[in-house]
Amino acid sequence: MPGSARIVRRDIVGCRPVLAEEIMTRPPRRETTHFAREQLVAILANPRFEPSGRSEKRVALARDVLGFKSARIANLFAWPSASSRDIALLGKVPEGWQDARRELTEAVYEADAVLVGFGLIPSSRESGPQLRAQLRWLHEELRRSGHVAVWQVGDRPRHPSRWHQYVSDAHGRTAGGTFEERLHQVLRAVPLDDCDWA
């Protein structure tokens, strides 16, 4: 192994070193595995009062596209609402952010990979500092747990409810195909150091 290659984590299954270059590649199809692909954790904004199932289905599709056996959702903000827009009001106090941290910590430490899909969370003068602190905390928690990159759709952590719009023909971002094929074309791994949301 070349001395310049940087080992970033160990493959849980084969106990072989995994190089940074392997993690930064386009998602492999199901038959190819470069490192342990047991669990994908998707970090979304907050729970909904009445889950529609759409986000869960799209996270499951991302799980399949990336070749993981299971997927789990964790949220930046613990309190449920009808829409993530409500976080601007609910997030003025620290409790909803703090309540999310135990599940987030457990999720990222158990995850073989993390997909960020919290989207653009509206904030107010009071909730903005709380949101920024939570994102900085998450970034550091990801680093402490050994993650060097996160998956996202396109150039930012888009919420699963926006993925279909992002890959539509109107924008010319993909070469076409089924939704699954289009999603494969836009999922990208971003080094933690390059994440501009933290």
- 128-179 residue pLDDT tens: 999 999 999 999 999 999 999 999 999 999 999 999 999 999 999 999 999 9
- The answer to whether the CB of 35 falls within 8 A of the CB of 9 is yes
Sheet of strand 39-44, all strands in order from the earlier edge strand to the far edge: 70-75, 39-44, 113-116, 149-153, 187-191
The contacts of residue 126 (CB under 8 Å, 6+ apart) are 91, 92
- 171-181 residue pLDDT tens: 999 999 999 99
pLDDT block averages, 10 residues each, the chain of length 198 = 39 38 41 65 92 89 96 97 91 96 97 97 94 98 97 97 95 94 97 93
Tell me phi and psi for residue 143, to 5 degrees. Answer: -65, -45
Type of residue numbered 141: E
Type of residue numbered 106: E
